[in-house]
Amino acid sequence: MSPQKAWDRVQAARQPNRPKAMDLIPYLIDHFIELSGDRHYGDDQALLGGLGSFEGQPITILAQSKGRDLQENMSRHFGMMHPEGYRKAMRLAKQAEKFKRPILCLVDTAGAYPGLGAEERGQAEAIAASLKLFATLKTPVITVVLSEGGSGGALALSVCDKLYMLENAIYSILSPEGFASILWKDESRAAEAAELMECTAQDLYAKKLIDGIIPEPAQGFASGIPDVVAQIKDLLRQDLNTLGSLKETVLLDRRYAKYRQIGARV
Amino acid sequence: MNPQFNTRKERLSLFQKLFPQRSEQTKTAADLSIVMCPSCNHPISQYDLNAQAHVCPGCRYHFPLGVQERLSTLVDPKSFKELYRSANSLKINTFPDYDRKLHKAQELTGLKEAVACGIAEIDGEKIALGIMDSRFIMGSMGQIVGEKITRLIEVATKKKLPLVILTASGGARMQEGVLSLFQMAKTSAALARFDEAGGFYITVLTHPTTGGVSASFAMLGDIILAEPKALIGFAGRRVIEKTINQQLPESFQTAEFLLERGFVDRIVDRTALRQTLGQLLKLHRRHA
Ligand SMILES: [Zn+2]
């Protein structure tokens, strides 16, 4: 790994030309069909949900979805989900469990949407319920963090059997700007904060929080996304093969152990 | 339990109510000191405050409680057996100034971390109990808090005990970064297993319950109670105001706001909490 500064990676993670869910899905999944709504309140476009087939096998996709331009981003809230988004994800996850198909989650969010409606409709409850549901969901779940994994809003789609990050993705408790403003009351010290936060894919791998890092093209994504697509496909093929052959109890025991071992022990 | 024993126990508790152990003669100088209610400026003697579960008799303001004070208002006397008491966050993270902050919080609260866990009894009902202390670095959840809560859930699962957690937290602890964030997943996963095993879980949301704690174990109770006017929510008020560019109403993210919107079962005055919990626990007794 090149000895890049954390802040360089934060900036790379925020490049507008990074692959988004809507760029990747057509290459990863055949016959993708979008499915909408949480059946209670509405449809949150920050979460792109649906199903299709991966190399012949049915699969459910739950993808935090940033837009490619301002207009798309406005309707998708820059990938920041509302409670109805988490509830849509849970509905489709339970459907996947019922029909015994695996789930691919794509994480790409600065965090859950901070808004009046989001709080009124129970953002905290929706995230908590999602964390709990995925912990015992009886089907394989694989998650790839594309750019930013911000706070509980990202974690809600990160309880899985295999968790990967792209090379320049970050995962953090809050943004480096937010961190700096709390710590020093000075947002402009975000670069300094990023170093302290240990939020890069390399940091998370070292802490055994993720299962692997997906390399990015050395020249950046201007050169296209085929390499990254091929690598995600390889991982998916491999994981679906091994996870799919496990007994349900073994799958769930391993998933529990994966999260149980995180952090210091008493 | 046999009915005779129960009758005797009820009579005993009635006795204890009629003849409280603290009599006029045992008031100490500390008891006589006067505290001003920060909400309505009503003067209250420390003695009265203790006797009223630290609630202002004038406006029902609920004073923040330390773990010992909370225990004295909530559980059967001397029933609390603390677990993992010495578990400590010191020296597990090199974040600047963090150890000094921890030392300060430890001195202030007499705790090693922001949550105390143990086995206790409420009205004779044995429970696994967790109590958070908001004065300990905002009651934030770092690795040790997450681990202690997870251990408590696992003990409750194994011993088939009901689980009661009183939350008071600003969220995940930023000094421990992403490892504290993932404690949300760890505690929720343990609760998922507790749930599947048929365990009964009550959360009591106290002021404040926000961020990563509200979005994990706080909101996962079979029954969710809240103290009056407690601040409960996910995102911080200032962040939301900045995002939507408007001022939020005073009542935003209060216990009453959540009750109205269906996210809390009941708001319970602290002086009635013990009784409410006792009733709920009795209604969920497991038939062996
Ligand atoms: Zn008052």
- Residue B76's pLDDT is 97
Determine the average pLDDT of the residues in A129-155.
97
CATH classification code of B64-287: 3.90.226.10
Summarize pLDDT for A83-111 with one digit per residue, the tens. Answer: 999 999 999 999 999 999 999 999 999 99
Please give the Cα distance from A21 to A232 (Å, whole number): 12
φ, ψ for residue A160, nearest 5 deg: -155, 180
CA torsion through residues B133, B136, B138, B141, sign:
negative
**Residue B187, pLDDT score:** 98
Check A114 against B236: CB less than 8 A apart. Answer: yes
Query: CB B235 to CB A118 under 8 A?
Result: yes
Q: How far apart are CA B149 and CA A15, in angstroms?
A: 39
> What gap in Å lies between CA B112 and CA B104, rounded to an integer?
10
pLDDT digits (tens, 9 = 90+) for A9-61: 999 999 989 999 999 999 999 999 999 999 999 999 999 999 999 999 999 99
CA-based nearest residue to B196, from B222, B226, B166 = B222
CA nearest neighbour of B212 among A27, A247, A112: A112
Q: How many angstroms separate the CA atoms of A245 and A238, rounded?
A: 11
Task: Please state, in angstroms and rounded to a whole number, the distance separating the CA atoms of residues A19 and A217.
Answer: 12
Distance of alpha carbon B179 from alpha carbon B112, whole angstroms: 19
Shortest Cα–Cα distance, A80 to chain B (Å): 12
Chain B residues with CB under 8 Å of A252 CB are none
Query: Tell me: the pLDDT tens digits for B212-238?
Result: 999 999 999 999 999 999 999 999 998
Distance in Å, CA B55 to ligand 1 centroid: 8
Residue B254 DSSP symbol: B
Q: So what's the pLDDT on residue A84?
A: 98
**Helix (H), strand (E) at residue A229:** helix A226-244
Minimal CA separation from A120 to chain B, in Å: 7
pLDDT of residue B246: 87
Tell me if B181 and A152 make a contact (CB, 8 A cut-off): yes
Please identify among residues 198-227 of chain A the ones whose CB lies closer than 8 Å to any CB of chain B: 198-199, 203-204, 207, 209
Q: How large is the ipTM?
A: 0.96
Work out the pLDDT band at A222, boundaries 50, 70, 90.
confident
SS3 state of residue B287 = coil
Q: Which of residues 137-156 of A touch B (CB under 8 A)?
A: 151-152, 155-156
**Interval between CA B63 and ligand 1 midpoint (Å):** 9
The topology under which CATH files domain A6-265 is: 2-enoyl-CoA Hydratase; Chain A, domain 1 (3.90.226)
On whether any CB of chain B is under 8 Å from the CB of A112, the answer is: yes
Q: Helix count (H) and strand count (E) of chain B?
A: 12, 10
Q: Check residue B17 and give its pLDDT.
A: 55
φ/ψ of residue A55, rounded to 5: 50, 45
> Do the strands A57-64 and B115-122 form a parallel or antiparallel pair, or are they unpaired?
unpaired
For range B190-201, the mean pLDDT: 98
Local structure of residue B97 (DSSP, 8 states): T
Cα separation, B173 vs B147, in Å, equals 13
Structure confidence at residue B1 (pLDDT): 46
Band of residue A1 on the pLDDT scale cut at 50, 70, 90: very low
**DSSP label at A174?**
S
SS3 A93: helix
Mean pLDDT of B14-34: 63
Q: Over pLDDT 90: what percentage of chain A? A: 89
In this prediction, residue B219 carries a pLDDT of 98
Residues A152-167: tens digit of each pLDDT: 999 999 999 999 999 9
Partner residue facing B192 (CB), from A115, A124, A132? A132
Contact B186 A207 (CB under 8 A): no
Enumerate the domain spans of chain B. 1-63, 64-287
Structure tokens at A12: 């790379």
Q: What single string gives the DSSP state of each residue in B185-252?
A: HHHHHHHHHHHHTT--EEEEEEEEEEHHHHTTGGGG-SEEEE-TT-BEESS-HHHHHHHHTSPPPTTT
pLDDT beyond 60 at B168? yes
Q: Check whether B14 has a pLDDT greater than 90.
A: no
d(CA A168, CA A110): 15
Alpha-carbon span B175 to A101, nearest angstrom: 39
Residue B76 CB neighbour total at 10 angstroms: 18
